[in-house]
Amino acid sequence: MIHLDGNSIGGLLSDVFGRDVTDASGRCRECGAENFVGALHVYRAAGVVVRCPSCSAVLMRFVAARDEVWVDLGGLLGSGLEPLRETRVHVMHGGEVVDGRAEP
């Protein structure tokens, strides 16, 4: 499957985090590899899946519907990345939505 890199979703990331995070780094929960967000592998399907370039573990998932976006950062360790706490950004943990909204 053809992938893009993290820079290709810079706009989506800015919506979610409120700033450009492509030069932030995150550590993979599976293999411990640390990479810049801009260097991660991005796959687009129903949503956006961001995978570790080293072991292909899923690091982040984004599902956008209308002008809202659901975010799962469960594959990242200590990235320091915090999604904006606003009404159109919803945080998922392992598929469970923690702010009361159902995943689309």
Distance CA 95, CA 72 (A): 7
Contact 23, 14 (CB under 8 A): no
Q: Given candidates 12, 33, 58, 77, which one binds Zn ion under the rule CB under 5 A?
A: 33
45-84 residues near Zn ion, rule: CB under 5 A: 52, 54-55, 57
Phi then psi dihedrals of residue 15, to 5 deg: -60, -40
CB of 33 to Zn ion, least distance (A): 5
Q: What share of the chain is helix, strand, coil (3-state, %, to 5)?
A: 15, 40, 50
Query: Least separation, in Å, of the C-beta of 46 and Zn ion?
Result: 23
- By C-beta, is 75 or 90 nearer to Zn ion? 75
Structure tokens given for 83: 């999604």
Asked if residue 30 binds Zn ion (CB under 5 A), the reply is yes
Nearer to Zn ion, 13 or 28 (CB): 28
Contacting residues toward Zn ion, per CB under 5 A: 28, 30-31, 33, 52, 54-55, 57
